[in-house]
Amino acid sequence: MFIDFYANFDRILLSDNSIWFGGKMRDDIYKQTAAHALDVQPRKWKEVQKIGNRATIHQGQIYRSGGRDTTFMPSFRTVTDMDKEEYFSVLAGGPSDRRFSKWYCSDLDNWIAGRYKLITPDPNQTKYSFK
């Protein structure tokens, strides 16, 4: 849904002076927002985290855009435990975006049945530290 509105977001957020800014200049709003974000003290895990929300990964939407009803849904689902170097995935649409390709919906049965592929890194792959 967001992609349909990029132009509007760009027009509003990149404008120096927008009615959405309540009479303030864009740079002042951005500075105020950044200062506020940097002033927030981090909370310990489990104080604010929840499983799922209105934008949980597997949700889709039906909405009206350009005078017509339209919809979307995610085609890639991933499940991971951040403590392990692995994840499970399924790609409902398959690896091809070509409607008549045999690979277009090759993983759909797995998606429907909840069967996932286990993805792990190559043990010979170079590991990089982010510290």
Clarify whether residues 83 and 69 are in a common domain. no
Task: Summarize the confidence of residues 62-79 as an average pLDDT.
Answer: 78
Structural domain of 108: 75-123
* Per-residue pLDDT band at 5 (split at 50, 70, 90): low
Is residue 90 pLDDT above 70, yes or no?
yes
Percent of the chain beyond pLDDT 90?
Answer: 11
Clarify whether residues 12 and 32 are in a common domain. yes
Instruction: Answer yes or no: is 15 within a domain.
Output: yes
Task: Summarize the confidence of residues 93-118 as an average pLDDT.
Answer: 85
Instruction: Answer yes or no: is 87 within a domain.
Output: yes
Does residue 22 or residue 71 have the better pLDDT?
22
Q: Give the number of other CB atoms < 10 A from CB of residue 72.
A: 14
